[in-house]
Structure 1
Amino acid sequence: MKLLFIGWLTVGLGGLAFSQSNSLPGRYSIEDVLSAPYCTGLVAEPQAGRIGWVSTQEGVRSVYIHNGRSGQTTKLTNYQTDDGQDISDLHISADGRWLTFVRGGAKNGEGVSPNPTSNPAGAEQAVYLVPTDGSRAPIRVAPGNHPAFSPTGKRLLFAQGGQVHLVELAGLSTDKPITTPSRLFTARGFQTDFRWSPDGGRVLFSSVRGYHNFIGVYDLSQKAITWIAPGVDRDQAPVWSPDGKQVAFIRVPGKKHGEMENVQGGHPFAIWVADVATGEGRELWHSPADDGGFAQDYPAEPLRWTTTNKLLFFSEHEGWMHLYALPPTGGKLTDLTPGAAEAEETFVPADGRYLYYSSNLNDIDRRHIWRVALTGNEAVQPEPLTTGTGIETDPVVVGDQLFYRSASWNRSTGIAKRRVGDTSETLLFPTEAAPRFPAQALTEPKQVIFKAADGVEVHAQLFLPGSTTQISRPALIFMHGGPMRQMLLGWHYRGSYYANAYAINQYLASQGYVVLSVNYRAGIGYGRAFRRADRQGPRGASEYQDILAAAKYLQSRSDVNPLKIGLWGGSYGGYLTALGLARNSDLFACGVDIHGVHDWAWRGNHFSPGGGWAIGEAEAKVAFESSPAFNLDFWRSPCLFVHADDDRNVTFAETVDLVQKLRDKGVPTEVLIFPDDAHSFLLHKNWVRTYQALDGFFRKQLMNQPEKPLTSEK
Structure 2
Amino acid sequence: MKKIFLLVLLPVQLLAQTNPFAAFKAYNFPTELHAASSGSKIAWALDEQGKRNVYVAEGPAFKPRKLTSFSKDDGQEITSVSISADGKWVVFVRGGDHGANWDHGLPLNPSFETNPFHVQVASVPFDGGETKYLSEGDDPVISPDSKTVAFIKGGQAWAAPIDGSAAARNLFTTRGNVGLLEYSAGDSLLLFVAHRNDHSIIGIYTNGATPIKWIAPSFSFDETPHWSPDNKSIVFIRRPGAGGAPDSLLVQKHIPWSIYTADIASGKATLLWKAPATLRGSVPTTEGGYNLHWAANNRIIFLSYQDGWPHLYSIAADGGKETLLTPGNFMCEHITLSTDKKYLTFSANTGNGQLDIERRHAAKVSVDKADMHVLTNGSGLEWTPLLINDNNTLAFISATAQRPPLPAVMQLSKSDNAVQLMGEELIPTSFPKEKLIIPTQVIFKSADGVTVHADLFLPAGGTSKKPAIVYVHGGPPRQMLLGWHYSDYYSNAYASNQYLASLGFVVLSVNYRLGIGYGYEFHQAKNAGEAGASEYLDIKAAGEWLRKQTFVDAQKIGIYGGSYGGYLTAMALAKDSKLFAAGVDIHGVHDWASRSGLLTAYNEKYEKAPDLEKALKTAWYSSPIPYMKTWKSPVLIIHADDDRNVQFNESVDIINRLEKQHVTYETIMIADDTHHWMKWENAVTVYGAVAEFFVRKFK
Fold match, TM over 0.5?
yes
Q: CA deviation at 1:68?
A: 2.2
The equivalent position to 1:279 in structure 2, one of 253, 256, 267, is 267
8 Å contact from structure 1 (residues 307, 350) kept in 2:
no
Give the distance between the partners of 1:160 and 1:685, measured in 2 at CA.
31
Amino acid at match of 1:385: L
Secondary structure of the equivalent of 2:636?
A: strand
Pair 109,101 (structure 1): closer, same or farther in 2 beyond 3 Å? closer
TM-score, with structure 1 as normaliser:
0.90
Pair 570,472 (structure 1): closer, same or farther in 2 beyond 3 Å? same
Pair 581,217 (structure 1): closer, same or farther in 2 beyond 3 Å? same
Q: Which residue of 2 aligns with 1:711?
A: none
Give the distance between the partners of 1:73 and 1:700, measured in 2 at CA.
43
Q: Which residue of 1 aligns with 2:606?
A: none
Amino acid at match of 1:486: Q
Q: CA deviation at 1:97?
A: 0.7
Give the distance between the partners of 1:131 and 1:223, measured in 2 at CA.
33
Q: In the TM superposition, what are the counterparts of 1:408-447 in structure 2 within 5 Å?
A: 408-420=400-412, 422-447=416-441
Give the distance between the partners of 1:140 and 1:15, measured in 2 at CA.
31
Q: CA deviation at 1:471?
A: 1.2
Aligned residues: 676
Q: CA deviation at 1:667?
A: 0.3
| Deviations, residues 605-629 of structure 1 (Å, cap 9, x unaligned) | 499959xxx9955411111111110
The equivalent position to 2:572 in structure 1, one of 563, 567, 580, is 580
The answer to whether the aligner puts 1:359 opposite 2:348 as a matched pair is yes
Q: Which residue of 1 aligns with 2:534?
A: 542
8 Å contact from structure 1 (residues 10, 692) kept in 2:
no
Q: Which residue of 2 aligns with 1:661?
A: 657
The answer to whether the aligner puts 1:50 opposite 2:41 as a matched pair is yes
8 Å contact from structure 2 (residues 453, 512) kept in 1:
yes
Give the distance between the partners of 2:491 and 2:344, measured in 1 at CA.
27
Q: In the TM superposition, what are the counterparts of 1:194-343 in structure 2 within 5 Å?
A: 194-220=181-207, 223-256=210-243, 267-289=255-277, 290-291=279-280, 295=284, 298-299=287-288, 302-343=291-332
Q: Which residue of 2 aligns with 1:191?
A: 178
Amino acid at match of 2:148: R
Give the distance between the partners of 1:110 and 1:194, measured in 2 at CA.
18
Q: Which residue of 2 aligns with 1:630?
A: 626
Q: In the TM superposition, what are the counterparts of 1:444-463 in structure 2 within 5 Å?
A: 444-463=438-457
Give the distance between the partners of 1:36 and 1:199, measured in 2 at CA.
43
Q: CA deviation at 1:218?
A: 1.4
Q: Which residue of 2 aligns with 1:479?
A: 472
Secondary structure of the equivalent of 1:448?
A: strand
The answer to whether the aligner puts 1:126 opposite 2:120 as a matched pair is yes
Give the distance between the partners of 1:255 and 1:601, measured in 2 at CA.
22
The answer to whether the aligner puts 1:179 opposite 2:134 as a matched pair is no
Q: CA deviation at 1:4?
A: 3.1
Q: Which residue of 1 aligns with 2:492?
A: 500
| Deviations, residues 525-549 of structure 1 (Å, cap 9, x unaligned) | 1111101101111111101111111
Amino acid at match of 1:349: S
Q: CA deviation at 1:298?
A: 2.5
Q: CA deviation at 1:467?
A: 2.7
Q: CA deviation at 1:224?
A: 2.1
The equivalent position to 2:481 in structure 1, one of 478, 483, 488, is 488
Q: CA deviation at 1:220?
A: 2.4
Secondary structure of the equivalent of 1:308?
A: helix
Q: CA deviation at 1:565?
A: 0.3
Pair 117,594 (structure 1): closer, same or farther in 2 beyond 3 Å? same
| Deviations, residues 494-537 of structure 1 (Å, cap 9, x unaligned) | 2x110010011011011011110000001111111101101111
Pair 166,341 (structure 1): closer, same or farther in 2 beyond 3 Å? same
Q: CA deviation at 1:692?
A: 1.8
Give the distance between the partners of 1:259 and 1:100, measured in 2 at CA.
45
Pair 8,411 (structure 1): closer, same or farther in 2 beyond 3 Å? farther
Pair 186,512 (structure 1): closer, same or farther in 2 beyond 3 Å? same
Give the distance between the partners of 1:146 and 1:279, measured in 2 at CA.
26
Q: Which residue of 1 aligns with 2:20?
A: 29
Give the distance between the partners of 1:653 and 1:258, measured in 2 at CA.
33
Give the distance between the partners of 2:158 and 2:406, measured in 1 at CA.
34
| Deviations, residues 123-159 of structure 1 (Å, cap 9, x unaligned) | 31110111111122x1011111011001111111010
8 Å contact from structure 1 (residues 40, 53) kept in 2:
yes
TM-score, with structure 2 as normaliser:
0.92
Q: Which residue of 1 aligns with 2:635?
A: 639
Identity of aligned residues (%): 41
Pair 109,683 (structure 1): closer, same or farther in 2 beyond 3 Å? closer
8 Å contact from structure 1 (residues 48, 94) kept in 2:
no
Pair 16,178 (structure 1): closer, same or farther in 2 beyond 3 Å? closer
**Aligned-pair Cα RMSD in Å:** 2.6
The answer to whether the aligner puts 1:2 opposite 2:7 as a matched pair is no
Give the distance between the partners of 2:504 and 2:62, measured in 1 at CA.
44
Q: CA deviation at 1:259?
A: 7.2
8 Å contact from structure 2 (residues 561, 584) kept in 1:
yes
Structure 1 gap segments, 5+ residues each: 18-27, 171-176, 704-714
Secondary structure of the equivalent of 2:492?
A: helix
Q: Which residue of 2 aligns with 1:513?
A: 505
Q: In the TM superposition, what are the counterparts of 1:696-711 in structure 2 within 5 Å?
A: 696-703=692-699
Structure 2 gap segments, 5+ residues each: 603-608
Q: CA deviation at 1:7?
A: 8.6
Q: Which residue of 2 aligns with 1:98?
A: 89
Pair 95,252 (structure 1): closer, same or farther in 2 beyond 3 Å? same
Q: CA deviation at 1:303?
A: 0.7
Give the distance between the partners of 2:286 and 2:546, measured in 1 at CA.
36
Secondary structure of the equivalent of 2:561?
A: strand
Amino acid at match of 1:2: K
8 Å contact from structure 1 (residues 643, 672) kept in 2:
yes
| Deviations, residues 31-62 of structure 1 (Å, cap 9, x unaligned) | 11110111111011131421110110111101
Secondary structure of the equivalent of 2:653?
A: helix
Q: CA deviation at 1:84?
A: 0.7
| Deviations, residues 526-580 of structure 1 (Å, cap 9, x unaligned) | 1111011011111111011111111121111111011110000000000000000
Pair 431,240 (structure 1): closer, same or farther in 2 beyond 3 Å? same
The answer to whether the aligner puts 1:693 opposite 2:689 as a matched pair is yes
Q: In the TM superposition, what are the counterparts of 1:613-628 in structure 2 within 5 Å?
A: 618-628=614-624
Q: Which residue of 2 aligns with 1:382?
A: 372
The equivalent position to 1:373 in structure 2, one of 346, 366, 374, is 366
Give the distance between the partners of 2:434 and 2:104, measured in 1 at CA.
47
Give the distance between the partners of 1:281 and 1:343, measured in 2 at CA.
29
8 Å contact from structure 1 (residues 49, 67) kept in 2:
yes
Secondary structure of the equivalent of 1:244?
A: coil
Q: CA deviation at 1:413?
A: 1.2
Amino acid at match of 2:419: E
Q: CA deviation at 1:307?
A: 2.8
Q: CA deviation at 1:352?
A: 2.7
The answer to whether the aligner puts 1:564 opposite 2:560 as a matched pair is no
Amino acid at match of 2:132: I
8 Å contact from structure 1 (residues 265, 532) kept in 2:
no
Q: CA deviation at 1:223?
A: 1.9
